[in-house]
Structure 1
Amino acid sequence: MNKLTQGRKSASALASLLIVAGALLIGGCDRHGEAGHAEATAKEEGAQLEPVTFTHFSDRTELFVEFPPLTVGHESPFAAHLSTLSDFRPVMAGKVTVTLSGGKQPTETFTVDRVANPGIFRPVAKPKYPGPRKLVFRLDTAQGSSVHDLGEVTVFADQAGALRAQAAEKPEPPGAIAYLKEQQWKTEYALSEVGKRSLRESVAATGTLRAPANQDAQLTAVSAGQVVAAGQFPQIGMVVKKGQLLAYLVPRLGGDTDIATLDLAMQKARLGVQQAARERERLEALHKQEAVPERRVIAARNEESLARAELTGAQRRAGQYRNDGGSGGGIAIRAPISGTVAEVGVAPGGFINEGQPIVHIVNADRLWLEVRVAESDIGRLGEPTGAAFRVDGFDTSFEIDERHGGRIVGFGGVIDPVSRTAPLVFEFPNPQRRLRIGMAARTSVFAGKRIESLAIPAAAVVDDNGVPVVYVLRHGEAFERRQVRLGVRDGDWVAVKSGVAAGERVVSKGAYQVRLAATTPAAMGEGHAH
């Protein structure tokens, strides 16, 4: 939507005007004769004409322009400030064409093909024809063209007429906050237009980000012992696959157990297997000659199987206490899920007690948002449909809904007797794993019902000692502090019940800087490159 605002700079200019006017009254008439009085007065008064300002938005750029009132035969230099609406940065190159048309007079064109300063073009107009004229600015850049139609302006026959016209105008209302374009361009700054939006009703709640129950594995020691590496020892941030061997836990030897005893038991078991195998072979040969019954062969086979089982057990017991450079031995510690190592509870070769954590693995590709909904909000919430939340360190909010892969895991049916809240759990994808488990989330849970309301970006609202305020654009470099009454919040947008009107523009990025300019103007610098 195109929008045009017009204003006049009044404070300092009006003071200068009064001083010069007083000086003219005291000494002007003594220096001029009757014939040249009117012309000289107009010339001296014309030097004190207040600049005219316009602010206009096209679909691509914002124009804020200052210039002296247009007067026939006099040069009027324009200070045209142009910003791109995509990022509110200054236009760095291009051509600006100014046209005066209409009023049953020929069209006049004035052009400048380069910037004087970043974002500022300085075309100069010297009108030839008085009366009402249509003023249009056109910007041509390599990225395209942008037209700013400022509507009808008056070209005065002389500067005395311009001064009389300005004197008849109403002064600008007090309370304007000056925040110059040069300051805007050097900071994070943006404007948003107030308009109607369809917003979802919601309730506010606190939440915490967690890993899904089946994507969070805490490996603990099944017995006291030494943890030794099996290749690369786990470290924080290491990506592992399900079933991957991470380390070995070599249990601590019992009071009456040593390696020699385990080796002896394993050797005895090995000899037992050999003896049982020979006995089974002897009896099978005799059975073929019908010298022994079949039952003795079956018993020998069973004895051999039992001996082999005893050997396997002895090998495993001994293997728990042996580790040849990580190539074998000990209790294998394997990753139960695919994910990322979040914590490591022991150093390579370190000893650990039974039950102590060894490795914590999480898969953060998807996360849970566990929200605590206040008892008083449950009735108003009804059946939740989704949520939006914000966490510290991120400028934007995150939304959970089915369209973006989110879902409701469950809504608790029991109120916690201490906090008087019920748990509500959402699951959602976590692209690039930007969010971290354990983050606190300021959450809005959507109730599903929609309302139509004037809305502004939530970032535009500043908490001024407990009072919500916004900064509304008067013209390109002047803003007004407004107290607002807010309604429901839907993600990055909030309903506003009073304080602003549709079509106005509020500072949606950099509002704190404008507030600083209002309270401590000196801190924001001073002066214009005009």
Structure 2
Amino acid sequence: MTRRRFTVAAMLLATVVAAGCSRRAESPKGDPPSLNVTNWTDKTELYMEYPPLIAGQSARFAAHLTRLGDFKPLPAGRPNLELKPENGGAVTVLKGSEPSRPGAFRIEGVPPSAGRYRWALTIVAPGISDRHDLGVVTVFPDEASTGVASQPDDPTAIAYLKEQQWTNEFATERVREAELRTAVRVPAAIEPLPGGEAVVTAPAAGRFTASALPGVGSAVQTGQSLGRLEPRLSSNGDDRATLAAAVAEAESAADAARIDLTRAERLLAERAVPARRVEDARRALSVAEARLGAAQARLAQRDQTLRTGGGVAGGNAFVIRAPIAGRIAEVMATLGASYDEGAPLFKIVRTNRIQVRAQVPPSDVAAARGVGSIAFEIPGRPDPVALQPRRVRDAGVIDPTTRALPVQFEVDNPGGQLLVGQTGTAVLFKGERQRVPAVSKSAVLMEAGRPYVFVQVGGERFIRRPIEIAARDGDLIGIRAGIRPGDRVVTRGAYEVQLASAAKGLPAEGHVH
């Protein structure tokens, strides 16, 4: 009896162990692999996720549709999937429904019999009708024959979901070929034109006065009054009052000499005086007239000194005037202060027309002398300033310090957007053009001086791609290496894509369909 119980217990234990081993040997069934396809037309972008298609088994397609006009989700409409046998035959249509939320559409249906099909998604929505041709898809006869695993992810790819793209500022564009002007990029600085800079000095020793002292940055016109200089009284007789008195005294002496000469000539005619008396009177008149001329010249010279020194005399004070039109760059004058002759009072710089002084390598001198247009890039400013040179000058002498040829481009400066003394990069556009892949300048980012772009490789996948720049022309940047025509690059929202690269994988909730 005891032996029989032991035998039964042993059999039960063996059964339990075998069952446990059998359960451990069974591998749990995982979720079906997920496939996806991304397609662009001129109107919309389609990103669709779907399982491997098996004949006779219902399949669910999650379609995300984005308007390319504003990169926002398509808010309404009904999509349909069309499957046409590759060798011809009837078209199977799987109908979709209105979106569960803007941009997210669901299509559910049973695929046709096993085989290869050309498939397309069509969408009809208010204000838009579009068709996405998706190439060829295979419908398998059963699950065992699919042999399909989930599409492998590129480990360098950045996940940025449609929900994020629709919420944030975002846009992409297709890389296209364009003919861009070739250019030479050289260091440059902004300088005043020759004669476009003037220092106004005190024409004589005196005290500076003005009803209002002009400030730095004030715009002035040629001949505009900047103030007055009241000459100090001088012990050596060079003040205006003394000079005017000297002129009056010389005029009186000259008049007396003329009267004396007239009397002497009359007396000589009456033989009352000798001829020597007339000669002496004539010499006295000549001396008096010479002294009068000298006195008048000294007074006129004082009154006209500021015609070359920045003003004209008025009464016993000089009116200080601007010799050129421009803006006041420095104010050295102080109201009520006294200055010696030649002391600087103001510095004026012409800013409506300036020159770009570019340091051109000897190998590019011929191209620089024949440029048709230039642009000036300023550090920290996103857009270069386009300029049209009026005149190009150079001395034909290499600078011994930079080993480059200084070339001056005279250009207009409307609005004073370029500042005298500013440094940057001059882009000298040559005459020839080159055909290269091109993107908008907003697509190109910089890190440590190296340019890169974000390429969209799928609806929700992006790759950071370093590039080599071939040319810059206006809003376009030509690319020598890194991307090809047909690639799509991010032009808005690149910073958010960069932030998304810090996240590993998708958010836990994923998509909701």
TM bucket by the smaller chain?
0.5 to 0.7
Q: Residues 393 and 95 from structure 1, CA distance in 2 versus in 1: closer, same or farther, beyond 3 angstroms?
A: same
Aligned to 2:181: 200
Partner of 1:54: 38
Secondary structure in structure 2 of the residue aligned to 1:167: coil
One-letter amino acid of the structure 2 residue matched with residue 472 of structure 1: V
* Count of residue correspondences: 460
Report how far residue 206 of structure 1 moved. 0.3
- Asked if 1:212 is matched to 2:196, the reply is no
1:41 maps to which residue?
A: none
Amino acid at match of 1:498: A
Deviation at 1:96, TM superposition (A): 4.2
One-letter identity of the residue aligned with 1:497 = R
C-alpha distance after superposition, 1:279-302 (max 9, x if no partner):
989999xx9xxx999xx99x9899
1:424 aligns with 2:407: yes
* Matched AA of 2:438: A
Specify which of 142, 149, 154 is matched with residue 131 of structure 2. Answer: 149
- Return closer, same or farther for 1:526/1:102 CA change in 2, 3 Å cut-off: closer
Matched, 1:344 2:331: yes
Change (3 A) 1:105 1:301: farther
Partner amino acid, structure 2, of 1:219: V
What one-letter code is carried by the residue in structure 2 that aligns with 1:448? G
SS of 1:419's partner is coil
Match of 2:216 among 211, 236, 239: 236
Residue 248 of structure 1 corresponds to: 228
Residue by residue, what CA displacement relative to the aligned partner does 1:504-526 show, whole Å, maximum 9, x if unpaired?
122345556544543x338x999
User: Quick check: 1:389–1:491 contact (8 Å CA) kept in 2?
Assistant: no
Say if 1:249 and 1:332, in contact at 8 Å, map to a contact too. Answer: yes
Q: Report what 2:12 is aligned to.
A: none
* Higher CA-based Rg: 2
Q: Could you say if the C-alpha distance between residues 175 and 138 of structure 1 is closer, same or farther in structure 2, counting changes exceeding 3 Å?
A: farther
The letter for the 2-side match of 1:191 is T
Match of 2:378 in 1: 391
* Contact 1:266/1:318 (<8 A) preserved: no
Query: Corresponding residue for 1:136?
Result: 122
Question: 2:322 corresponds to which residue?
Answer: 335
Distance 1:82 1:107 in 2: 22
Q: Is the CA contact (8 Å cut-off) linking 1:207 and 1:443 kept in structure 2?
A: yes
Letter in 2 for 1:233: L
* Letter in structure 1 aligned against 2:122: V
Could you tell me which of 356, 367, 370 is aligned with 1:369? 356
The CA distance in 1 between the partners of 2:245 and 2:507, in whole Å, is 89
Amino acid at match of 2:351: A
Paired residues of 2:39 and 2:134 also in contact (CA < 8 A): no
Deviates more, 1:430-439 or 1:103-112: 103-112
1:200 to 1:234, Cα distance in 2 relative to 1, 3 A? same
Deviation per CA, 1:12-62, whole angstroms, max 9, x where unpaired?
xxxxxxxxxx9996678xxxxxxxxxxxxxxx95xx66474534242xx55
| Letter of the structure 1 residue corresponding to residue 329 of structure 2 | A
Letter in 1 for 2:359: R
Q: Counterpart in 1 of 2:436?
A: 453
For residues 50 and 133 of structure 2, the distance between their equivalents in structure 1, rounded to whole angstroms, comes to 17
Q: CA 1:470–1:188 in 2, change beyond 3 Å: closer, same or farther?
A: same
Unaligned runs of 5+ in 2: 1-22, 85-90, 271-277, 306-312
| Match in the other structure for 1:167 | 148
Q: Does the C-alpha gap of structure 1 residues 368 and 123 become closer, same or farther in structure 2, counting only changes over 3 Å?
A: same
Distance 2:455 2:487 in 1: 7
Distance 1:72 1:157, change over 3 A: farther
Q: Secondary structure at the match of 1:174?
A: coil
Residues in 1 aligned to 2:24 and 2:343: alpha-carbon distance in whole angstroms:
90
Task: Note the C-alpha offset of 1:245.
Answer: 1.1
1:34 maps to which residue?
none
TM-score, normalization by structure 1: 0.66
Q: Give the 3-state SS of the residue equivalent to 1:473 in structure 2.
A: strand
Report deviation, 1:420: 0.9
Task: From the superposition, tell whether residues 369 and 156 of structure 1 become closer, same or farther in structure 2 (CA, over 3 Å).
Answer: same
Q: Identify if the C-alpha distance between structure 1 residues 399 and 62 changes in structure 2 by more than 3 Å, giving closer, same or farther.
A: farther
Q: Distance in 1 between matches of 2:330 and 2:174?
A: 47
2:172 corresponds to which residue? 191
1:249/1:331 contact within 8 Å kept: yes
Quick check: 1:199–1:488 contact (8 Å CA) kept in 2? yes
- State the match for 1:31 in structure 2: none
Alignment CA distance shift 1:209-1:62 (3 Å): farther
How far the C-alpha of 1:424 sits from its partner, in A, is 1.2
Out of 206-215 and 160-169, give the one that drifted further.
Answer: 160-169
CA contact (8 A) 1:178 1:479 kept: yes
2:480 corresponds to which of 477, 480, 497: 497
Shift of 1:130: 5.3
Task: Describe the superposition over 1:351-374 as per-residue Cα deviations: whole angstroms up to 9, x where unpaired.
Answer: 445555422333333331110112
* More moved, 231-240 vs 125-134: 125-134
Q: 1:186 & 1:228 partners in 2: Cα distance? A: 64
- TM-superposed CA distance for 1:425, in Å, is 1.6
With over 3 angstroms needed to count, the CA separation of the structure-2 counterparts of 1:319 and 1:426, relative to structure 1, is closer
User: How far off is 1:348 after superposition?
Assistant: 3.0
Q: Helix, strand or coil for the counterpart of 1:432?
A: helix
Q: d(CA) in 1 for partners of 2:24 and 2:46?
A: 33
Q: Distance in 1 between matches of 2:175 and 2:330?
A: 48
Task: Go from structure 1 to structure 2 and tell me whether the alpha carbon gap of 1:357 and 1:521 turns closer, same or farther (over 3 Å shift).
Answer: farther
**Amino acid aligned to 2:192:** A
1:273·1:311 contact (CA, 8 Å) conserved in 2?
Answer: no
- Indicate whether 1:410 and 2:410 are aligned: no
> Cα RMSD between the aligned structures?
5.3
Aligned to 1:179: 160
- Matches of 1:492 and 1:387 in 2, distance apart? 14
Distance in 2 between residues matched to 1:472 and 1:102, nearest whole Å: 30
Distance (Å, rounded) in 2 between the aligned partners of 1:24 and 1:343: 90
1:482 aligns with 2:453: no
Contact 1:382/1:447 (<8 A) preserved: no
Q: Give % identity.
A: 26
Q: 1:359 to 1:25 in 2, by over 3 A?
A: farther
Question: For residue 3 of structure 1, what is the aligned residue in structure 2?
Answer: none
109 and 480 in structure 1: CA distance in 2 versus 1, 3 angstrom threshold: closer
Question: What does residue range 95-114 of structure 1 map to in structure 2 within 5 Å?
Answer: 95-100=76-81, 103=84, 104=91, 108=95, 110-111=97-98
Match of 2:148, SS? Answer: helix
TM-score norm. by structure 2 comes to 0.68
Deviation of 1:391 (Å): 0.7
Distance 1:194 1:506 in 2: 7
- How far does the alpha carbon of each residue in 1:380-435 deviate from its partner, in whole angstroms, 9 at most, with x for none? 767444433311232122334xxxx4334213311112221111122233333222
CA contact (8 A) 1:224 1:351 kept: yes
Per-residue CA deviations over 1:468-518 (Å, capped at 9, x if unaligned) read: 543211124321133434435545544433332211122345556544543
- Which is further off, 71-80 or 201-210? 71-80
1: CA distance, partners of 2:477 / 2:203: 53
Unmatched segments (≥5 aa) in structure 1 = 1-21, 29-43, 321-325
Aligned partners of 2:497, 2:60: CA distance in 1, in Å?
34
Structure 2 distance, partners of 1:382, 1:218, is 32
